[in-house]
Structure 1
């Protein structure tokens, strides 16, 4: 990296990184089947809510690329709006959601306040920072 750019921190996503992620998820799925965890057959198609930009690793890898492996429907938001997200989760029967703690906190807070139904969610993931104490 040139000396003038040493202060800028970036993660570089290469083809090798992306293929490695895809192959590791496939290996994980195969290992799960060998261990006796059968894939779910029938029922509604799983759906994920994409609330993170695709230029972020969580948006690209966790939401978009894993959706190919899981054969799940991906519902995209233009930008984060917790009220709109709750409405989308209810309407589209979203089963998976991933976001940083502040985003998942906003989601739960507005759902509680408005008495909304998030029961379709099976998996909620996150990371990158800890939750603020006041939330």
Structure 2
């Protein structure tokens, strides 16, 4: 089984991810009617295998992660030999102070040979905490 993940905050701050990807401040961008700060990322040229590239969109006031757009790079160098491209758009939502979770995800997979694209959508419907949240 092959697992492909959309970029999330734990990836963008992971020392291994940071050491193996190039980052570029792309400036301000607008998505969903919000003005955001866009940071582009891509695997370092020394990475010969499939990886991810994309952009992280941060709230321009709080710098909280709001969206990521992610593309699988070099899918032909993975177990996905029939895949031409995989694209993700993930939206994050702050559920309580300091906790942002994936709110929704759309993934589009296009194939090399004859098969139509596959579109997958996910949405977080409810979040429950086992213990009371600390008072801010």
Specify the TM-score bucket, using the shorter chain as the normaliser.
Answer: under 0.3
Which structure dedicates a bigger proportion of its chain to helix?
A: 1
Higher relative contact order (CA 8 A, sep 6+): 1
Q: TM-score, normalised by structure 2?
A: 0.23
For normalisation by structure 1, the TM-score amounts to 0.23
Which is higher, the Rg of structure 1 or of structure 2? 1
